[in-house]
Amino acid sequence: MITIGCFHAHYSNIALIEETLAAYEVELVHYVDPGLDRLKHDADFTDVIIHEKVAQTLRWIAECHADAILVTCTLFATVLEQEATQIPVPVIGIDDPLLQEMRRVTGDYIIAFTNPATIEGTMARVNQALQQEDGNEQLHVAKISQTEAVCIPGTFELIMRGDQQGYVEAVREGLQQIAEQYPGTMVVAAQLSMAPAAAQVTADTGIAIHSPLALLAAHLDKNLGVTRQ
């Protein structure tokens, strides 16, 4: 059985990952550290702090007999390109499956967030992912005419103070408004915590809202060999 160390910024992500992978032969060990989210608005907070903390925690999780690491926080995932290369086990960011899907399916995308601190780093990962190598190893940009980031205001504070129900409802309303405002555009809920609200909008309206959870199991199966029980 594969052991995956899950690196979270908030405890609420544990249940989402457990539920998504419940049918698979995998042991999940969870590590939760909300510290960076609590420090990010400090005047002396820099990207160096993120790099150092994420690198330290990834090394620790790997030492704790993990076969792979899943990073579920988009703030942590923003530095994976640099830090994951130093880790002896595979490191997967929660947005990796979505980034691959965006490379595969061209079109206009709205990337929705609740945590404004993750927008810049995640959009940098999006732009990097959309640069692809063709068969001649020549770099070209995927044919996406527009990729725009939108933050749903006043929502992240709800989950950080433990109002999970209020958060899901506020995010659901925000995602539905975005989808209605941008018809014909593919809407992506960038953060794992937004996945339940995204699923609810899709179920209630039939409007597809993409989320990190939808493709996660298939991605882990392909990259780690995770199989169903």
- Secondary structure (DSSP) of 96-139: HHHHHHHHHS-S-EEEEES-GGGHHHHHHHHHHHTEEE-TTS-E
Query: Locate tokens 């990010």: which residue?
Result: 40
* Domain 97-210 class, CATH top level: alpha beta
What pLDDT is stored for residue 106 in this prediction? 80
Cα–Cα nearest to 188, from 141, 128, 123, 124:
123
Cα–Cα nearest to 98, from 74, 114, 117, 69:
74
Q: How far apart are CA 130 and CA 104, in angstroms?
A: 9
What pLDDT is stored for residue 142 in this prediction? 52
pLDDT reading at 214 higher than 60: yes
Both structure tokens of 151: 């933050």
Lowest pLDDT segment from 61-75, 79-93, 138-152: 138-152
Q: Which residue has the higher pLDDT, 56 or 133?
A: 56
> Long-range contacts of range 149-152, CB-CB < 8 Å, 24 or more positions apart?
149/110, 149/111, 149/112, 149/113, 149/119, 149/122, 149/123, 150/110, 150/111, 150/112, 150/113, 150/178, 151/112, 151/113, 151/114, 151/116, 151/119, 152/112, 152/113, 152/114, 152/178
Both structure tokens of 6: 């899950």
Both structure tokens of 145: 């005419």
Could you give the percent of the chain with pLDDT greater than 70? 94
Q: How far apart are CA 208 and CA 147, in angstroms?
A: 17
pLDDT reading at 27 higher than 70: yes
Q: How far apart are CA 167 and CA 160, in angstroms?
A: 9
Partnered with residue 210 across adjacent β-strands are 188
pLDDT reading at 119 higher than 70: yes
**Average pLDDT value for residue range 178-185:** 92
- pLDDT tens readout for residues 123-154: 988 888 777 554 444 444 555 557 899 999 99
- pLDDT tens readout for residues 70-79: 999 988 888 8
**Average pLDDT value for residue range 165-186:** 95
What pLDDT is stored for residue 139 in this prediction? 47
pTM of this prediction? 0.87
What ranges do the domains of the chain cover? 2-94+215-224, 97-210
Count Cβ atoms below 10 Å from residue 85 Cβ, excluding itself. 8
* 97-210 shares the fold of 2-94+215-224: yes
Phi/psi for 16 (5° steps) reads -65, -45
* Domain 2-94+215-224 class, CATH top level: alpha beta
